[in-house]
Amino acid sequence: MQPASPANRYHYNPRLRTLARRLRNNSTKAEIYIWSYLFRAKEYRGYPFCRQRPVLNYIVDFMCKELMLIIEVDGSIHERWDVKRKDKIRQQQLEEIGFTVLRFTNEQVLKDRASIVQTLDDWIKNKNAR
């Protein structure tokens, strides 16, 4: 994988801009929920987040550049073996360029917000402790 130029440190892919916009305008219920309740001010615990962000050849659900953190919200399609395989490759490539990927299911987002908040808080605390 090519190293990113300083201007594109986050591997933004402008070719996916239109698709990302379309996905933002057609978000899933879980994506709307997490964006509305966790990132309502487009930030979490003082860290800015964006949604449906083109990175490499993917569009990630939520991203914080400052934390180098990507949050993926997975629906039931992600239980299929072929999708799991693609998700694993995608995650590996995102981690190779320096991101951490946290995954939550739609069900977790819609039914157990407290555990998501705890996971994010713990992750941020550990990241800041390094």
| 85-125 confidence digits (pLDDT tens) | 999 999 999 999 999 999 999 999 999 989 999 999 999 99
**CATH number belonging to domain 11-129:** 3.40.960.10
Are 94 and 100 contacting, i.e. CB atoms less than 8 angstroms apart?
Answer: no
Q: Is the pLDDT of residue 84 over 90?
A: no
Reported pTM: 0.86
> Is the model more confident about 35 or about 1?
35
pLDDT level of residue 77 (50, 70, 90 thresholds): low
Query: What does the pLDDT read at residue 2?
Result: 53
DSSP-assigned letters across all residues of 56-85: TTEEEEEEETTTTEEEEEE-GGGGSHHHHH
